[in-house]
């Protein structure tokens, strides 16, 4: 599209009050191939970091005294903004300005936090990041600054000691996250009031980064989602440490979640008249009911509705992913039995299925006589999906049953700790004595480590050393380790049992495993001091 075409589109948008009357065409930016930008950025960072480090060493005393941080940080920030604001700047110089911008922000942030405290310092940084976002030209840099501003906004209005997540109680972070979403909604309203297309583009990019950070924080607050740690291996184990289950008490936060979900449904019906149907209203009520049990889900539903109606499909996809994450976190963080949680989700699924069936039946009865019947492909696709789900579940069950049936029985001495779980009834935490050196093995990798064990005549195994790939001696075997809690464990660190059976399992002395020749193992039970069954 040429510049005259863009001006014509903007004129029509202004006449229809979609853009302000003073909207003007900004200078067209030259586009560069992204591989060139990436390689140039890499070279710029490699050149800038040693220079910045050298400047830091030369100004070390100045940075430590009085206003030195403010002076150096402000100079670096202003210089970077001048470069990033200009148009006729070589690409290498532009990329060098990016680390200078970040370092300037970090220096000013440290000084503000030091002198003003958490709330005032973080608040000043929020305003500084947003102001910088309005000045720079790069869209991607504006998105990053918007995300950083959202991250800083939470501690700016949140409880003191924001690095200590457990010290203040996780419920205290629920309100700042929802206020961050409110700021994003206000930014959407402010887009139409922007004085020019340049300002509107800057606000648009900043708001994009702000929402992405807010959605990630809402999902993080909810805790680890269902089976991610097991599916993603080491990466999931690391994520699990960064995301622990949230808790809430009372009725106010769940009620707000329901209200936000209903507001999202109302907004979608307002923007898309085709949604104004009774059965879709019933679907909205079912989804709002689910939000009662998940205090952050309503905010995500509202963001999803706003993004969909505005045709911002990338952000809508991010909101949908956050919603799926929160629903999956329902498995872990409610203090209910697993059966009760399954019943809630099954009831919601059954209600949604019944409403969908009713809608399809109503559509069939109102179809004109000459209309073609529904394509069979949809029915076959649904049937195939059901078969694939059942097949995957049953394959997993079959593999574990085969391991239990054919695996070699091995008993490993354990030390139980923490006899109760506040989430899923009673359980015992298991702490097996692993050989030293596992802390040096990275969690990020496709191959899991193994330990070498030797069984005695009773089947009790002694864990000798970490497998280095060498040949096994007589009587030795390999056992595969699993990632958990930022480290490696022997298959599992917990044994769940029915409520009221703590006395039965208190005598446990050994973990009972089944081990395949390749080292894959499964915890199948606990044994007493004499290897007697409990």
User: What is the end-to-end Cα distance of the chain in Å, rounded?
Assistant: 75
pLDDT at 261: 92
Minimal CA–CA distance to 25: which of 188, 190, 200? 200
Specify the DSSP element, H or E, that contains 148: helix 139-157
Taking the C-alpha atoms of residue 135 and residue 373, their distance in angstroms, rounded to an integer, is 57
Q: What whole-number distance in Å separates Cα of residue 4 and Cα of residue 199?
A: 21
Q: Is 286 exposed, middle or buried (0-12, 13-18, 19+ CB in 10 A)?
A: middle
CA 156 to mean position of chain CA atoms? 21
Q: What is the pLDDT of residue 295?
A: 87
Q: Residue 261 and residue 254: Cα distance in Å, rounded?
A: 11
pLDDT of 244: 43
Cα separation of 158 and 301, whole Å?
23
pLDDT at 77 (0 to 100): 82
Q: Which residues contact 324 (CB under 8 A, 6 or more apart)?
A: 225
The tens place of each residue's pLDDT in the chain, 534 residues long, gives 444 555 566 666 666 666 665 554 444 444 566 677 677 777 777 776 776 676 666 666 666 666 777 777 788 888 888 888 877 777 777 777 788 888 788 878 878 887 888 788 888 888 888 888 888 887 888 898 999 999 989 888 877 654 444 334 456 778 889 999 999 999 888 776 655 677 778 888 899 999 999 999 998 888 777 655 444 444 444 444 444 444 445 678 888 999 999 999 999 999 888 888 888 888 888 888 888 888 889 999 999 999 999 888 899 999 999 998 888 887 766 556 666 677 777 788 888 778 878 777 766 665 555 555 555 666 677 777 777 777 777 777 777 778 777 778 888 887 666 555 444 556 677 878 788 777 667 665 557 888 888 888 888 888 888 888 778 888 788 888 887 766 788 887 777 776 667 777 777 888 888 888 888 888 888 888 888 887
For residue 529, the model assigns a pLDDT of 83
Cα–Cα dist 209/229, whole Å: 27
CB of 403 within 8 A of CB of 520? yes
Residues 241 and 224: their CA atoms lie apart, in Å, by 9
């Amino acid at each position: 599209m040429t510049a005259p075409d863009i001006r014509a589109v903007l004129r029509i948008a202004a006449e229809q009050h979609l853009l302000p009357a003073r909207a003007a065409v900004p200078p067209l930016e030259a586009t560069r191939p992204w591989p060139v930008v990436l390689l140039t950025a890499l070279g710029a960072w490699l050149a800038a970091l040693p220079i910045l480090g050298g400047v830091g060493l030369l100004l070390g005393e100045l940075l430590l005294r009085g206003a030195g941080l403010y002076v150096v940080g402000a100079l670096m920030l202003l210089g970077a903004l001048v470069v990033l604001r200009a148009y006729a700047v070589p690409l290498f110089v532009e990329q060098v300005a990016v680390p200078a911008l970040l370092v300037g922000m970090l220096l000013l942030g440290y000084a503000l936090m030091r002198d003003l405290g958490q709330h005032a310092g973080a608040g000043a940084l929020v305003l500084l990041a947003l102001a910088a976002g309005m000045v720079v030209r790069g869209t991607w840099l504006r998105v990053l600054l918007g995300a950083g501003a959202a991250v800083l906004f939470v501690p700016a209005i949140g409880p003191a000691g924001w690095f200590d997540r457990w010290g203040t109680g996780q419920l205290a972070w629920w309100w700042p996250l929802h206020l961050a979403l409110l700021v994003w909604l206000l930014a959407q309203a402010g887009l139409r009031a922007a004085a020019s297309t340049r300002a509107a583009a800057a606000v648009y990019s900043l708001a994009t980064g702000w929402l992405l950070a807010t959605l990630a924080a809402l999902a993080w607050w909810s805790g680890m989602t269902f089976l991610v740690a097991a599916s993603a291996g080491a990466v999931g184990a690391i994520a699990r440490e960064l995301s622990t289950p949230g808790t809430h008490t009372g009725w106010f936060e769940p009620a707000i979640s329901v209200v936000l979900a209903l507001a999202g449904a109302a907004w979608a019906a307002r923007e898309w008249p085709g949604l104004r149907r009774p059965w879709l209203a019933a679907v909205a009520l079912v989804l709002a009911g689910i939000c009662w049990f998940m205090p952050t889900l309503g905010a995500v539903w509202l963001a999803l509705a706003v993004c969909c109606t505005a045709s911002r499909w990338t952000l809508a996809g991010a909101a949908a992913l956050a919603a799926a994450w929160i629903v999956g976190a329902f498995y872990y963080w409610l203090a209910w039995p697993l059966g009760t949680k399954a019943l809630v989700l099954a009831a919601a699924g059954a209600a949604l299925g019944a409403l969908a069936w009713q809608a399809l039946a109503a559509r069939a009865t109102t179809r004109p006589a000459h209309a073609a019947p529904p394509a069979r492909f949809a029915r076959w696709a649904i049937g195939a999906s059901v078969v694939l789900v059942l097949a995957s579940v049953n394959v997993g069950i079959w593999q574990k049953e085969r391991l239990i049936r054919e695996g070699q029985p091995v008993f490993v001495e354990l030390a139980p700790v923490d006899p109760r779980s506040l989430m899923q009834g009673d359980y015992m935490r298991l702490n097996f004595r692993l050989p030293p050196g596992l802390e040096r093995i990275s969690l990020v990798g496709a191959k899991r480590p193994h330990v070498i064990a030797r069984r005695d005549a009773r089947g009790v195994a002694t864990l000798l050393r970490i497998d280095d790939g060498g040949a096994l001696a007589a009587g030795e075997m390999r056992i595969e380790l699993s990632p958990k809690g930022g480290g490696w464990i022997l298959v599992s660190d917990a044994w769940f049992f029915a409520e009221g059976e703590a006395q039965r399992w208190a005598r446990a002395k050994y973990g009972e495993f089944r081990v395949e020749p390749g080292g894959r193992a499964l915890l199948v039970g606990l044994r007493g001091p004499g290897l007697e069954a409990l």
